[in-house]
Amino acid sequence: MTVRSGAQFLKGLEAPRELWFEGEVVRDIPSHPVLGKTARTIAWLYDLQHEPEYRDLLTTTLPGTDRRVATSFVQPRTVEELQRRGRATKLVADLTAGMLGRSPDFLNINVAAFAAANEYFSRADPRFGENMVRYYEYVRDNDLSLTHTLISPQVNRAKGPHEQVDPYIVAGALEERDDGIVIRGARMLATLAPFSDEMAVFPSTFLQNTPGAEKYAFAFAIPCDTPGMKMICRESFDAGGSLFDHPLASRFDEMDALVVFDDVLVPWERVFLYNNIELVNGLFRDTHAMPHLMHQFTTRMLAKSEFVLGVAVLIAETIAVDGFPQVQERLAEIINDVETLRACIDSAERNARPGPGGVMVPTQEPLWSIRTTFHKMYPRMIGHLQQLGAGGLMLLPTEKDLESGIGPDIRRYYQAANAGAEERIRLFRLAWDIVGSTWGSRQELYERFFSGDPVRLMSTRYVSYDKAPYRDRVRAFFERSARQAEVAPAAAPAPAAAAPVGARGQ
Ligand SMILES: Cc1cc2nc3c(=O)[nH]c(=O)nc-3n(C[C@H](O)[C@H](O)[C@H](O)COP(=O)(O)OP(=O)(O)OC[C@H]3O[C@@H](n4cnc5c(N)ncnc54)[C@H](O)[C@@H]3O)c2cc1C
């Protein structure tokens, strides 16, 4: 099995696991009244891989075989292959309005990048590099869905993991055994946890290299039904109702969970890094996995921004405010955002260079620009939608209202200049999902934090950026100015009354 169908994906979710939702362990995710809805959305994404319209882009023949795998698992060797992977990402993001942050392709791309950089893991232990390659092949060949958890629980951020009130609040290695390591403690925040086959536990936050910190230095992945692993879901942000009432929230609540490791045995063959703080701290940067991930999520951000632009334009046209200059200015601002994102992604793809294992790595600088601005860009777009929709966003009859005895009044008074009442309500309800619903608020928080704390990301952006060319340019300017000053007297004789040219440089 290399390319799964939706039914196969749902079957995989039946494996018993300790997934807590609203105070209960969910026994059957696919048929759960709330979680089952998003499970079916993800299943639909797996089904798309078999649909004639999408199959050729979403799947790829493995070189040297006749087997097809999801394109997101491809390790691109050329710019064209990288661009093709980007188009597959874009297709999935377009079909989900860019609102599904953790569609499975996100982590597929991550493990493909780690496997290409297997030598990095081998530096800690030759077995770890081999484990990484085998794991990549395993998830690729079984087309598995992964979630990942990178961050320690938010207990005391002023202290390191080993300085917390309990050294095993933060997930750490409790014991090293012949058959693996035993992990105790918790991690946050695993998006897509209920809809995943595997839990990847990767490092992210910088780990101070102090005595006692080594036990938090690891990277591993285990099946979601591993004994002792518990996932505690947040409440659902699907407000219920029909697809008409909540066109996004009712399908794309990807869910988030805290993950508890209650003395969980991680077999050695699933360990990719252990006990090496330096390698753990450099993981995403030095394997070049980050540019690959940025390529995925900036492409999704583009799809999301294009969708928001479409909603904004339709709102403006529907109620005939699109002729006002201040409305046009707001729409033009979203257009500029969209085109900036597109240009950055295009530049990153075209200027890709071979990286670890000969895999083509998108150039990272333009992607970093998006990564460190989208957390402001997206809330601005939301503000534009609120300004355009205004009071109309508050008066939103439901599908039931439309079908009820008050329906004729609704059809009369909710009509718009360029749309009937039903069409206008459908559009404004979609906008409300984005700007006002609980689900929409999570979308905003997601864009602010999913890729890390924007405050620290900006510092990283500044510190890691190669600033030398710009310093040099200014220094060269001064040097040129000084040389020009030297030749200035001959080139332009001073007027008779002027003071003599200064002694500097003469
Ligand atoms: C919707 C959503 C989905 C997510 N999905 C995932 C996922 O799938 N997998 C995953 O692993 N993670 C996920 N995350 C977590 C995400 O990576 C973190 O939210 C992000 O890294 C910030 O960490 P934190 O939330 O612990 O904030 P904290 O680090 O606790 O920060 C809280 C506040 O304190 C400030 N602060 C804290 N420490 C410092 C410091 N050292 N220097 C300066 N300021 C500091 C921050 O700026 C911030 O204002 C998700 C987050 C959200 C909101």
**Residue environment code for 364-393, b if the CB has 16+ CB neighbours within 10 A, otherwise e:** bebbbbbbbbbbebbeebbebbeebbeebb
Does the pLDDT value for residue 403 go beyond 90?
yes
d(C-alpha 395, C-alpha 319), whole Å? 14
pLDDT at position 494 is: 56
Side-chain half-sphere of 358: how many Cα atoms within 13 Å? Answer: 2
Burial of 315: CB neighbours in 10 Å, binned 0-12, 13-18, 19+: buried
- What 3-state class would DSSP assign to 431? helix
CATH of 286-464, one of 3.40.50.2000, 1.25.40.390, 1.20.140.10, 3.30.1360.120: 1.20.140.10
Mean pLDDT within 411-428: 98
Tracing tokens 């500029």 back to the chain, one arrives at 336
pLDDT, tens digit (0-9, with 9 covering 90-100), for 233-270 = 999 999 888 999 999 999 999 999 999 999 999 999 99
pLDDT at 204: 82
Q: Do 345 and 316 touch, CB atoms closer than 8 A?
A: no
pLDDT of residue 490: 58
Q: Is the pLDDT of residue 489 over 80?
A: no
Of the residues 220, 450, 458, which should be mutated to test ligand 1's pocket, given the most ligand atoms within 8 Å of the CB?
450
Residues 208-232: what's their mean pLDDT? 95
Ligand 1 closest atom vs CA 448: 53
Q: Is 435 helix (H, G, I), strand (E, B) or coil?
A: helix
Q: What residue spans define the domains of the chain? A: 286-464
pLDDT of 492 above 90: no
Please say if the pLDDT value at position 499 is more than 90: no
Question: Which residue's CA lies nearest to atom 50 of ligand 1?
Answer: 450
The CA distance from 237 to 297, in Å, is 22
At residue 487, the pLDDT reads 87
Encoded tokens for 22: 């609203």
pTM above 0.75, yes or no: yes
Residue nearest ligand 1's atom 53 by CA: 446
More confident residue, 211 or 50: 50
Give the model's pLDDT for residue 506.
34
Expressed in angstroms and rounded, the spacing between residue 471 Cα and the centre of ligand 1 is: 33
The answer, yes or no, to whether residue 493 has pLDDT greater than 80, is no
Pocket test for ligand 1, best of 147, 164, 189 (most atoms within 8 A of CB): 189
Lowest-confidence pick of 186-195, 209-218, 423-432, 485-494: 485-494
**What is the spatial distance between Cα 193 and Cα 314, in angstroms, rounded to a whole number?**
35
Specify the residue for token string 């002729």. 323
**pLDDT digit string, tens, across residues 453-466:** 999 999 999 999 99
**Contact of 161 with 152, CB cutoff 8 Å:** yes
What pLDDT shows up at residue 491?
A: 56
Mutate which of 148, 151, 198 for ligand 1 pocket (most atoms within 8 A of beta carbon): 151
Q: How confident is the model at residue 505 (pLDDT cuts 50, 70, 90)?
A: very low
209: helix, strand or coil: coil
- Report pLDDT for 504: 42
User: How many angstroms does the Cα of residue 395 sit away from the middle of ligand 1?
Assistant: 35
Question: Model confidence over 268-298: pLDDT tens digits?
Answer: 999 999 999 999 999 999 999 999 999 999 9
Q: Looking at 43-52, 120-129, 201-210, 334-343, which range is the least confident one?
A: 201-210
- Which range is least confidently modeled, 11-15, 50-54, 114-118? 11-15
For the chain, the C-alpha Rg in angstroms (whole number) is 27
pLDDT grade for 502, boundaries at 50, 70 and 90 = very low
Segment 230-234 mean pLDDT: 98
Q: Quote the pLDDT of residue 240.
A: 86
Ligand 1, atom 27, lies closest to the CA of: 453
Residue 31: predicted pLDDT = 95
Q: In a 3-state reduction of DSSP, which class is residue 177?
A: strand
Ligand 1 midpoint to CA 453 (Å): 5
Question: How far is the C-alpha of 148 from the C-alpha of 257, rounded, in Å?
Answer: 10
> Ligand 1: which of 152, 157, 252 to mutate, most ligand atoms within 8 Å of CB?
157
Neighbour count for residue 250 (Cβ, 10 Å): 20
Q: What is the pLDDT of residues 420-447, one digit of tens each?
A: 999 999 999 999 999 999 999 999 999 9
Instruction: Find the residues whose C-beta lies inside 6 A of ligand 1.
Output: 102, 148-151, 154, 157, 189-191, 256, 442, 445-446, 449-450, 452-453, 455-456
pLDDT mean over 202-208: 89
Backbone CA torsion sign across 226, 227, 230, 236: positive
pLDDT of residue 276: 95
What pLDDT was estimated at residue 241? 82
For residue 84, the 8-state DSSP code is H
**Exposure of 403 in the CB half-sphere (CA atoms within 13 A):** 6
Nearest-CA neighbor of 276 among 220, 209, 221, 206? 209
Residue whose C-alpha is closest to residue 76's, from 299, 288, 358, 294: 358
